[in-house]
Amino acid sequence: MINIKRLILATLFGIVFGFVCWILSSSGGPQLWFAAVSIITGRTLIGFGIGISVLKIKWWWHGIIIGFLFSVPAAFNGFYVPGREIFIFLNTIIMGVIYGFLIELLTTIVFKASN
């Protein structure tokens, strides 16, 4: 059964980290609006995926796996930036893993909303 408190908290943390990620990524200059939407929704989906998942594995491993899986498709957007393709591809995945871990940490450990 899905824990509604967990689903809401994880999704909200995903939204928060989506905005954090967008702000950090736009520090190099302005971005197109659809890039910002993609970043924010991608991190929100990591939170939603963590909240809705019923996998019974250690919390930190769960956040890492979900963060990785949900970041891989978005990472391919990096190939639209000439000269920085691999950097953006790998950065998107690494940051997705970190955000997944942090979302899971806040949801499960800090707010005690386990699955």
Sign of the C-alpha dihedral computed for residues 81, 82, 84 and 89 taken in this order: positive
What does the pLDDT read at residue 51? 97
What does the pLDDT read at residue 115? 80
Q: Do 3 and 54 meet the contact criterion of CB atoms below 8 Å apart?
A: no
Burial of 21 (0-12, 13-18, 19+ CB in 10 A): buried
Low-confidence ranges of the chain (pLDDT < 50): none
Amino acid identity at 77: N
- Other residues' Cβ atoms within 10 Å of the Cβ of residue 32: 8
Distance CA(36)–CA(86), nearest Å, equals: 20
What does the pLDDT read at residue 32? 85
Q: Which residues contact 90 (CB under 8 A, 6 or more apart)?
A: 75
